[in-house]
């Protein structure tokens, strides 16, 4: 019989009784759950193309905005923290991967021991030293020194997959941290773009208010001239001046908003406050010509937080398998090789070479409560991971559905507001002509000016909300983390 077969037979003799003792105590793992995803989005056609698959360069046409997003991706603290999580997960994966292989340590030791005269070693050493069969160098000193220089190793054989499943779980978590970084990038892209459009909206509001200040100043001077000619009253002049002051106050409000929005954007960019460059104005910004959602199953792979939750669920499943393997015996091998002697001057001779190997088998007999508890924890953690995955999918699906429906409604709202501004601008011109001709009061002129100002500001807000809705839909579809 070969040495290999002898080893197998010896292990079988040792393992079999322990397996019989342990077999009835191993807890069964519950079946993994699955989540059914709808085949399409409500009231939307299914298409293989998805808005979320557009790169940042394809989605954002404003070069200045793209440059700001690139700056944020390089400097944003949250993103840099996410990258360090990846490094931690990679290191932990290497730790778990290394557990599958033998540990080899260099060892050097020296010691001395005095055996009692009435002990096995004491009697044995005394008797050995009297033997005529040993040389002078082989005589055992008393006290007895001990010198060792060599290598020791320990290797747990992964018979039941406990270590392999830990490695698989660590690998899934490493991939999950990368998806987590993509999720942070997606959110950061949306935040930078949204804040940028807030700045553009405030710029546009400031321009509208400043333009109206000029118009209102001219109207005030005109009313003053009419008052001097007896065609208007002091009350009319006061009303026009009050409206002018109100518009000037609104300008200061917008300027305060610009400061706050600019500083908030600089925080996202990972830098101290400084001027933020702008590109195309708000009303000249364009949207992607075709907006398509894509098939939900494809969208799930594109959205990084869903992919991250899915990988965490897989990792929890492997953790549960590893915890279940703890019910079975552990098989370890401990070999060593080195130089061993009880005299220092004999240590580096060929006759001092020593080697050996010890195989061990250990099974948990009185730790069942701890092992069962650890297994139940792993089962609960897998269920927790599944519910988190389910929640992420439900939340994402809802965000996409809401975003798509809101986008269509926002487009209609913008069209109506745009028409309203055109009508009110004509009304301002008409009220001025009628006032000069004596067919309209100064209150009608003031009301017309105030209405067109409010409508232009509302149109600006609608345009901003329209782009924010599109940006949010882009994020909800998993867009913004890839540039190619």
| pTM reported for the whole predicted model | 0.82
Q: How confident is the model at residue 441 (pLDDT cuts 50, 70, 90)?
A: confident
Q: Which long-range contacts (CB under 8 A, 24 or more apart) does 11-19 make?
A: 11/331, 11/359, 11/361, 14/361, 15/329, 15/331, 15/361, 18/329, 18/361, 18/363, 19/328, 19/329
**Per-residue pLDDT at 296 exceeds 80:** no
- The position carrying tokens 């292989």 is 101
Domain ranges of the chain: 17-100+160-328+367-476, 102-157+330-362
Query: Could you tell me how far CA 119 lies from the centroid of its own chain?
Result: 65
Query: Once rounded to an integer, what is the mean pLDDT over residues 460-471?
Result: 94
Fold (CATH) for 102-157+330-362: Outer membrane efflux proteins (OEP) (2.20.200)
Q: Strand pairing of 330-341 and 103-113?
A: unpaired
Tens digits of residue pLDDT in 37-92: 666 666 555 453 477 888 898 889 999 999 999 999 999 999 999 999 999 999 99
Instruction: For residue 438, count CB atoms less than 10 angstroms from its CB and return exposed for 0-12, middle for 13-18, buried for 19 or more.
Output: exposed
- Band (pLDDT 50/70/90 cuts) for residue 13 is low
Where are the strands (E) in 320-458, listed by range? 330-341, 353-362
Long-range contacts of 157-163 (CB under 8 A, 24+ apart): 157/331, 157/332, 157/333, 158/100, 159/328, 159/331, 160/325, 160/328, 161/321, 161/322, 161/325, 162/322, 162/325, 162/326, 162/328, 163/96, 163/99, 163/100, 163/322
Average pLDDT over residues 227-233: 86
Residue-level pLDDT at 383: 95
As a CATH number, domain 17-100+160-328+367-476 is: 1.20.1600.10
> CB under 8 Å to 236, separation ≥6 — which residues?
223, 226, 227, 442
Helices and strands (H, E) in the chain, number of each type? 11, 4
- Which range scores top for mean pLDDT: 177-186, 401-410, 474-483? 177-186
What is the percentage of the chain residues whose pLDDT exceeds 70?
88
Number of neighbouring beta carbons within 10 Å of residue 455: 21
Give the torsion sign (CA, 181, 183, 185, 187).
negative
Helices (H), 234-367: 234-268, 296-302, 304-325
Q: State the pLDDT at residue 298.
A: 62
399: nearest Cα among 464, 462, 305, 290? 305
How many residues are recorded in the chain? 484
Collapsed DSSP state (helix, strand, coil) of residue 353: strand
Contact, 172 vs 360, CB < 8 A?
Answer: no
In this predicted structure, the answer to whether residue 154 has a pLDDT above a threshold of 50 is yes
| Chain Cα centroid distance, residue 383 | 21
pLDDT for residue 231? 83
Report d(CA 150, CA 276) in Å as an integer. 65
Cα Rg of the chain, angstroms: 40
- Separation between Cα atoms, residue 315 and residue 173, nearest integer Å: 6
First to last CA, the chain: 62
DSSP code for 149: E
State the pLDDT at residue 121: 87
Phi, psi of 339 (to 5 degrees): -105, 130
Span 186-227, pLDDT tens digits = 999 999 999 999 999 999 999 999 999 999 999 899 899 988
């Amino acid at each position: 019989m070969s040495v290999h077969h002898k080893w197998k037979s010896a292990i079988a003799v040792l393992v079999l009784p322990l397996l019989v003792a342990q077999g009835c105590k191993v807890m069964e793992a519950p079946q993994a759950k699955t989540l059914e995803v709808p085949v399409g989005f409500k009231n939307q056609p299914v298409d293989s193309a998805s808005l979320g698959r557009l790169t940042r360069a394809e989605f954002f046409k404003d070069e200045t905005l793209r440059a700001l997003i690139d700056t944020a991706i390089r400097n944003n603290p949250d993103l840099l923290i996410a990258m360090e999580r990846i490094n931690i997960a990679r290191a932990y994966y290497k730790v778990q991967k290394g557990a599958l292989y033998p540990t080899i340590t260099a060892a050097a030791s020296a010691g001395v021991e005095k055996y009692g005269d009435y002990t096995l070693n004491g009697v044995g050493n005394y008797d050995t030293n009297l033997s005529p069969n040993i040389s002078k160098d082989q005589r055992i000193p008393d006290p007895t020194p001990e010198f060792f220089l060599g290598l020791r190793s320990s290797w747990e054989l992964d018979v039941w997959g406990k270590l392999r499943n830990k490695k698989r779980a660590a690998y899934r978590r490493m991939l999950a941290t990368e998806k987590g970084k993509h999720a942070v990038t997606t959110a950061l892209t949306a935040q930078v773009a949204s804040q940028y459009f807030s700045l553009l909206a405030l710029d546009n509001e400031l321009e509208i208010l400043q333009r109206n200040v000029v118009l209102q100043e001219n109207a005030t001077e005109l009313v003053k001239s009419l008052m001097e000619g007896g065609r208007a009253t002091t009350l009319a002049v006061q009303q026009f001046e009050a409206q002018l002051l109100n518009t000037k106050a609104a300008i200061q409000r917008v300027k305060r908003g610009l400061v706050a929005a600019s500083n908030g954007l600089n925080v996202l960019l990972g830098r101290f406050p400084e001027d933020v460059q702008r590109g195309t104005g708000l009303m000249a910004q364009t949207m992607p010509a075709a907006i398509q959602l894509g098939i939900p199953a494809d969208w799930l792979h594109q959205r990084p937080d869903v992919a991250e939750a899915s990988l965490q669920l897989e990792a929890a499943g492997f953790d549960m398998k590893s915890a279940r393997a703890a019910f079975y015996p552990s098989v370890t091998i401990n070999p060593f090789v080195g130089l061993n002697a009880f005299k220092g001057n004999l240590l580096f001779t060929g006759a001092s070479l020593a080697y050996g190997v010890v195989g061990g088998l250990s099974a948990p007999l009185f730790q069942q409560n701890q092992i069962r508890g650890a297994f139940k924890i792993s089962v609960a953690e897998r269920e927790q991971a599944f519910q988190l995955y389910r929640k992420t999918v439900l939340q994402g699906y809802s965000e996409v559905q809401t975003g798509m429906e809101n986008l269509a409604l926002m487009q209609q709202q913008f069209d109506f507001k745009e028409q309203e501004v055109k009508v009110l601008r004509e009304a301002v011109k008409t009220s001025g002509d009628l006032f000069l001709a004596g067919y309209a009061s100064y209150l009608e002129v003031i009301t017309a000016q105030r209405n067109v100002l409010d409508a232009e500001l509302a149109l600006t807000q609608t345009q901003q909300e329209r782009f924010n809705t599109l940006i949010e839909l882009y994020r909800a579809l998993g867009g913004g983390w890839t540039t190619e």
